[in-house]
Structure 1
Amino acid sequence: MRNILTEEQKSSYHENGYVIGLAPVFSEPEVEQLNANLKQLAQLLEPGEKMSAIREWHMSSKWLYDVCTNPKILDYVEGILGPNFYMWGSQFFAKAPGSKDTVAWHQDAYYWPLHPHNSVTVWLAFTDVDEENGAMQVIPKSHKDGLIKHRSVSGDSVLTLELEEGTFYETDAKSLVLKAGQISLHDDAIVHGSPANHSTRWRNGVTIRYSGTNVRCDLSKAPQFKAYLVRGSDEFNYNPQGAIPTEKFARLPSDQHIASTDEVK
C-alpha cells in the first residue's frame, strides 16, 4: 500500500512550507538495520571527521542510494513535486549526547545554484528526534517571502552562513518532532535551523534532496552535480545524469562532492 499525501497534507505543505505527522517509512526492525548499516558506512570516515562529512555518498554507496530512493519516500515526495523528479543530494547530520553543534537559521535555496525553486528536502530520522535532543525547527510560511540575505557565521554552527537578524521571528519556530523511521518534508525556501543537543541521547538523521525535472543546476558553480531520475521521465534533460553505484559501502572522494556552501554563495 502506497504512502500518499492527502489533499489536506499537500495544502498544509504549500501553506506552511513543511509537513510532518506522516506514517513511518521504516519499521522498528528496519530502523535497527538502518543504524547498523550507517555504523558500517561511518567506519569510512577519516579521524576527526564528523558525520556531516557523509555528503552525497549516495553516488558511491548502493546502500545509501537505496535509502534515498525508497519507494515509500518517493511516494510522499511525488505528492509535492508531481510525477517527474530527480534526487541529487544527501547528507547526514548527527548530534552526540550533549553536543553543542547547531545549525544556524538559513534557507536551503540560498545555498543551491538551482533554478527555478522547485525542490523538496526529506529529513529521515535514524533516531527519535525531539526538542530536547535538538530537533530541526522551521518558521512556518517563511518560504513565501522569497530568498533573504545571509551573512557569515562562526561558532558552533555546522554552516558558514546564517540569516541576518530581524529578517524573521524566532518565536514563530515549530520543532519537527519525529520518531525513528519517520520523515518530514520541507520547501527549499523555508527558514529553518536546529539547536544544540541537551539530552543524553544521539540525534541522527539524513537529509535527502529532490527536485522537479524542470530545475536546472548552474554547473559553473557545482560542476560535480548529478541528477538521478527517480520518478517519471525527464523531458528537459537539463542536468548530467548520475551512475547508480554498485558497491554497498564506499566513500565518495572529496573532489566529487557537490560545491560547498562557500563555493556556491
Structure 2
Amino acid sequence: MAHYSLSEEQKAFYHGQGYLINLPSVFSPAEMAQLNAELKNLEALLEPGEKMMAIREWHISSRWLYDVCTRPQILDYVEGILGPNFYMWGSQFFAKSPNSKETVAWHQDAYYWPLHPHNSVTIWLAFTDVNEDNGAMQIIPKSHKAGLITHTSNSGDSVLTLELEQGTFNEADAKSLILHAGQISLHDDAIVHGSPANQSDRWRNGLTVRYSGTNVKCDLTKAPQFKAYLVRGADEFNYNPPGVIPTEPFARLSKEHHIASTDEFKK
C-alpha cells in the first residue's frame, strides 16, 4: 500500500498559513462516482425536511462512512500535521443545492468545540467539483495565529448560529479552496473560514472530517456523547471515551445522540 507523506515545505505552509490544498486526489473519478451512488443509501435515511447537514457523526453508525473517514491516504496527510498519534471524532456533510442562498458565516471551528489544547485538523473531501461559482469554502490565511475571536449571533442565511464580529479580520484576504471531486483540503481548527451562496446550477457537496492529537481532551460535561476513534498510533493519554467501529454498512445515528450536546458543540 502506497504511503502519502507531506513534504517539509507542505508542512511549513500549513503551519504558517493554516491550510493546505493541491494534494493528489484521495479518490479517483471512478471511486467518486461509486461513493456518490453509495451516499444515496445514507440520504435515504434522512427524515422529511432534513438536509444533508443532518448526516453528522454518522461514522459512529455507518461502516461505509467510517471507512471513508479513515481512508489511509487521508490519514497519511493528517499524520503529517498531527504526528503519529491521533484520533478521529467528527464528520458532517455540507451540501448546497443549485442556486441556494445558504451560506456558512465566517467562523472558527475551535470556538465551537470543547477541546483542549487546540491541536485538531479538519479535512474537507469534495464529493463534487468545487469552485467559486458554486460556493467553495473560503479561508483567511494566517488567521489561525490570532487565537479565538469573539463571535456573535447570526440572523442571515448562514447555516450556523454564530459568526465572527465585523472588523475582526480582513475579508479582502480571503482565498477560495478550489477542489476537484476526490480531492481534499486541510485546515487548522482556529483558522477563520466560511463559504458564500451557490450561484451555479450545480450541487456543491463536501464531507468534513475532524481529527485531533491524542493529547486533546474533550470536556464531556459539554459533549457527553463524544467518542474518539484512534486511527493512527497509540493513545498514551486515554483522555476520551473510545468509539466502537460500526458494523452496519449504512445506518443513521439516533437524534438522541446530538440532543445531549450543548449549543456550543453544534456546528
Instruction: Give the structure-2-normalised TM-score.
Output: 0.97
Cα distance in 2 for residues equivalent to 1:46 and 1:147? 35
The residue that corresponds to 1:111 in the other structure is: 112
1:16 corresponds to: 17
Asked if 1:243 corresponds to 2:237, the answer is no
CA contact (8 A) 2:88 2:211 kept: yes
Please tell me the root mean square deviation across aligned C-alpha atoms, in Å: 1.1
One-letter code of the match for 2:159? V
1:200 equivalent in structure 2 = 201
Answer yes or no: is 1:82 the counterpart of 2:83: yes
- 2:30 is paired with a residue whose SS is helix
Q: Which amino acid aligns with 1:99?
A: S
Equivalent residue for 1:6?
Answer: 7
CA offsets 1:96-118 (integer angstroms, 9 cap, x no match) = 10011100000000000000000
Q: 2:222 touches 2:261 (CA, 8 Å); kept in 1?
A: no
**Deviation larger for 107-116 or 1-10:** 1-10
Q: Counterparts of 2:243 and 2:258 in 1: how far apart (Å)?
A: 13
Which moved further from structure 2: 253-262 or 117-126?
253-262
CA displacement at 1:154 relative to structure 2: 1.7
Structure 1 residues 45, 214: CA separation in 2 closer, same or farther (over 3 Å shift)?
A: same
Tell me what 1:99 maps to: 100
Q: How many residues align?
A: 265
Partner of 1:40: 41
- The answer as to whether partners of 2:110 and 2:190 remain within 8 angstroms in 1 is yes
Deviation, 1:155, is 2.3
Deviation sequence 1:157-215 (CA, Å, 0-9, x none): 01000000100000000000000000000000000000000000000000000000000
Between the aligned partners of 1:199 and 1:4, the Cα distance in structure 2 is: 35
Q: CA deviation at 1:37?
A: 1.1
Equivalent residue number for residue 155 of structure 1: 156
Task: Read off the aligned partner of 1:242 and give its amino acid letter.
Answer: G
Task: Report the secondary structure of 2:234's partner residue.
Answer: coil
Give the partner amino acid of 1:199. S
Alignment partner, residue 63 of structure 2: 62
Q: Which amino acid aligns with 1:20?
A: I
CA deviation digits over 1:74-117, x for unaligned, max 9?
00000000000000000000001001110000000000000000
Letter in 2 for 1:187: D
> Bigger CA drift: 252-261 or 2-11?
252-261
Which amino acid is 2:127 matched to?
F
Percent of matched pairs sharing the same residue:
78
Distance 2:99 2:236 in 1: 48
Does the 8 A contact of 1:55 with 1:257 survive in 2? Answer: no
Q: Contact 1:56/1:258 (CA < 8 Å) preserved in 2?
A: no
Is this contact kept in 1: 2:214–2:236, CA < 8 A?
yes
Work out the CA distance in 1 between the residues paired with 2:129 and 2:254. Answer: 31
Look up the match of 1:172. Answer: 173
Question: Gaps spanning 5+ residues in structure 1: where?
Answer: none
Query: Partner letter of residue 221 of structure 2?
Result: S
| Separation of aligned partners in 2, 1:261 and 1:200 | 36
Q: Name the CA distance, whole Å, in 2 between partners of 1:143 and 1:201.
A: 31
TM-score (norm 1): 0.98
